[in-house]
Amino acid sequence: MTTKKSIWYFSKQEKIDLLISWLTLSLAFAVVISPIFLGIPEFIISFPIALIAVGTGFVLHEMAHRQMARHFGFHSEYRAWYPGLVFAFFLALITKGAFIFAAPGATYFFGETVTTQQEGKISIAGPITNLVVGFILIFLFLFSHSSFWQIVLIKSALINFWFAAFNLIPFGPLDGAKVMKWNSRLWILVFAISALLALFPIQIFTVLNLI
């Protein structure tokens, strides 16, 4: 076990990896949300929106993993996976913004003994954070009177729901496999909510009378 560090502590390499991942993913998502593929005026508007959306979706997701790991006393830091970042960006280009596969890196943690429960809780922290942030953004959207900020808030919320659902897929190194191993019922519940919000947001919020 290591000494718990402040939420504000970042190593130099972690800062670099987070910044590069954030900017690269934002470029990829800007391609996806831009109404006209590679239209310069549209991209100029889409990129800052993507910066905010990915900042709330990706960065807070990884920080939630990190802080839960540190809560258990483990050493934990984010590290970028550069081939995954390149793949995410070029896939968005090749598909003309129709699809994105975000595998920018991961938050690693190390401890003398890591139990299945601890690993599961560390893994679920990211998607749960995405859901909470997504609902907060929807709440702010309801009270916003600026068309620009309404677009920012709704797209940021949808990207948060997408991050939650994607990461809960029970495959390989994604969070879903570890959460399912720890608590399959919790995984089913959170994955179902995330997937519905990511795939059918308009229908769900219409039924709830939120839009």
Which residue numbers are catalytic? 62
Strands (E), 81-200: 105-110
- Dihedrals φ, ψ of 43, to 5°? -65, -35
Q: Give the Cα-Cα-Cα angle 145, 146, 151 (nearest 5 degrees).
A: 115
DSSP state letter for 55:
I
Two tokens, residue 83: 């081939």
Report the distance separating Cα 55 and Cα 20, nearest Å: 12
